[in-house]
Amino acid sequence: MRIFTAALATETNTFSPICIDRRAFEDSLYAPPGTHPQTPTLCTAPITVGRRAAAEKGWTLIEGTAAWADPAGLVNRETYEGLRDEILDQLRAAMPVDAVVLGLHGAMVAAGYIDPEGDLLTRIREIIGPDVLLCAELDPHSHLTAKRVAAADFFVVFKEFPHTDFVARAEDLWRIAVDTLEGRVKPVMSVFDCRMIDVFPTSREPMRSFVDRLTAIEAEDEDVLSLSVIHGFMAGDVPELGTKMIAVTNAKPEKGERLARKLGLELFSLRGTFMMPQIDEKEAVNRALTAPRGPVVIADMWDNPGGGTAGDSTVILEELLLRGATDVAVGMIWDPIAVQLCMAAGEGAEIPLRFGAKSAPGTGNPIDGLVEVVRVVPNAEMRFGESVAPFGDAAHIRHKGIDIVLSSVRVQSYDPSLFTALGIDPQSKRILVIKSTNHFYAAFSKIASEILYCSAGSPYPNDPATNPYRRARRDIWPMTADPHCVEVA
Ligand SMILES: [Zn+2]
């Protein structure tokens, strides 16, 4: 057997001004054929898992390019077309193949391409013909367009959010692909449109139990090869926005449709109950200041560079300054210009500085003031689980009793080590302000006396009912109260 694999992935927040060019892919991950490292980067797991799967069978794995850019705004047209054509040329050169197994994200939008993954999959199908297996792993924060469903045989989607299972799902993808190639199964994909858009953290109920049920059904029902939820991605203004339920069965399309519909309507009946409770910056600062002990962690949950925002909002910091709060550390605010100025000034210098809130509307105002440059660290990094997350050259500044970490690479606040890297002891602080929606929880919950989820300003389009969509469909909840026009318990 000859199998072609490649990866092309990013998550496009179409409201973000941080646009993506080829350099952004190269900064995150760009691996030409055969150069992909041993460890996967989220959406590239089908390549590393594929090496193992092909080796076990003695099959030939032909690796194409793997490219991943951290979430941001629109992808530059030439960048998308260049990476796409690179992969398509590699596939043409690899023909004939028995299967194509891809790592995609599924929420890319490029200039001139509202559905780049649909475009890529369709072009691949044209090259390989109707009978060669074509499958991909997807991130649930994606758009399941009709074009993609028509082009691919099946998709497997991460079940967990935070995405702790991207390797396990790539293993599912390959297991089904191998079983198909060896004639044991015939995967058929059934999709149900839940007609909703929501956010579904699996670290809490009710999504935790729902995902556990999907796993149990997969284990118990031999007709069911895989069950997935496409959560949808509300910051992507695309026509086919929304939550979808996928059932991949062993040649049982009617059963798959029934199951996808049943599970999808169940998800719909729970709409609006998935997210953690959120408070605004005034309430968050109030509660943090009156807490019996620290550190209280305030998560600036929507200014999360992991969702494509700039990560330079100052709304919570402005409120803290207004209240005269001290004994506070803020990590991080993205401001490469300010970092450069601090590095030029040197440690110990006191300088007038403008920092933050420079890149996007709805993120507060730049802070102007005299600051002390406490520490500068070239190529700073923090821990993220087993690996490290670099945040570029960084500066620790002190302003009116508040310690602030400025970074020059946009990355969400995964771990308290972002503070220690700049000489700040996070546990000695009364309040910690961080930028992350959900990924921070595992590490920060270990040191936090309390965690407050704060919705501050409007850095991210987090309310689909009022987001200024131009292309997204309106016939889904919450834009439409009852889009199924049925009584759903
Ligand atoms: Zn995601």
pLDDT in tens, 130-180: 999 999 999 999 999 999 999 999 999 999 998 889 999 999 999 999 999
Lowest mean pLDDT among 78-92, 103-117, 241-255, 386-400: 386-400
Q: How far apart are CA 425 and CA 206, in angstroms?
A: 36
Q: How confident is the model at residue 32 (pLDDT cuts 50, 70, 90)?
A: very high
Q: How confident is the model at residue 442 (pLDDT cuts 50, 70, 90)?
A: confident
Q: Tell me: pLDDT of 386 over 80.
A: no
The tens digit of pLDDT for each residue in 116-134 reads 999 999 999 999 999 999 9
Q: How far is the CA of 203 from the centre of ligand 1 (A)?
A: 14
Q: What is the pLDDT of residue 379?
A: 96
Cβ atoms within 10 Å, residue 66: 29
Cβ atoms of 355 and 340 closer than 8 Å: no
Q: How far is the CA of 253 from the centre of ligand 1 (A)?
A: 28
Q: How far is the CA of 140 from the centre of ligand 1 (A)?
A: 6
Q: How far is the CA of 176 from the centre of ligand 1 (A)?
A: 23
Q: How far is the CA of 367 from the centre of ligand 1 (A)?
A: 32
Q: What is the pLDDT of residue 162?
A: 86
Q: How far is the CA of 217 from the centre of ligand 1 (A)?
A: 23
Q: What is the pLDDT of residue 489?
A: 43
What are the φ/ψ torsions at residue 458 (nearest 5 degrees)? -140, 60
Q: How far is the CA of 44 from the centre of ligand 1 (A)?
A: 13
Q: How far is the CA of 306 from the centre of ligand 1 (A)?
A: 9
Q: How far is the CA of 459 from the centre of ligand 1 (A)?
A: 18
Q: How far is the CA of 42 from the centre of ligand 1 (A)?
A: 9
Q: How far is the CA of 125 from the centre of ligand 1 (A)?
A: 26
Q: How far is the CA of 347 from the centre of ligand 1 (A)?
A: 38
Query: Which sequence spans correspond to the domains of the chain?
Result: 2-270, 281-454
Q: How far is the CA of 138 from the centre of ligand 1 (A)?
A: 9
Q: For the chain, what is the mean pLDDT?
A: 96
Q: How far is the CA of 139 from the centre of ligand 1 (A)?
A: 5
Q: What is the mean pLDDT of residues 183-210?
A: 97
Q: How far is the CA of 228 from the centre of ligand 1 (A)?
A: 13
Cβ atoms of 307 and 12 closer than 8 Å: no
Q: How far is the CA of 143 from the centre of ligand 1 (A)?
A: 11
Strand order in the sheet with 133-138: 29-31, 60-68, 2-9, 99-104, 133-138, 154-157
Q: What is the mean pLDDT of residues 436-457?
A: 95
Q: What is the mean pLDDT of residues 288-296?
A: 96
Cβ atoms of 39 and 48 closer than 8 Å: yes
% of the chain residues with pLDDT over 90: 93
Through-space distance between the first and last CA atoms of the chain, rounded to whole angstroms: 49
Q: Tell me: pLDDT of 39 over 80.
A: yes
The tens digit of pLDDT for each residue in 348-357 reads 999 999 999 9
Q: How far is the CA of 92 from the centre of ligand 1 (A)?
A: 30
Q: How far is the CA of 230 from the centre of ligand 1 (A)?
A: 10
Q: How far is the CA of 371 from the centre of ligand 1 (A)?
A: 37
Q: What is the pLDDT of residue 127?
A: 98
Q: How far is the CA of 103 from the centre of ligand 1 (A)?
A: 13
Q: How far apart are CA 53 and CA 50, in angstroms?
A: 5
Q: How far is the CA of 167 from the centre of ligand 1 (A)?
A: 14
Q: How far is the CA of 137 from the centre of ligand 1 (A)?
A: 12
Cβ atoms within 10 Å, residue 126: 11
Q: How far is the CA of 468 from the centre of ligand 1 (A)?
A: 22
Q: How far is the CA of 471 from the centre of ligand 1 (A)?
A: 21
Residues having C-beta closer than 5 Å to ion ligand 1: 139, 141
Q: How far is the CA of 472 from the centre of ligand 1 (A)?
A: 19
Q: How far is the CA of 57 from the centre of ligand 1 (A)?
A: 31
Q: Tell me: pLDDT of 44 over 60.
A: yes
Q: Tell me: pLDDT of 486 over 60.
A: no
Q: How far apart are CA 108 and CA 104, in angstroms?
A: 9
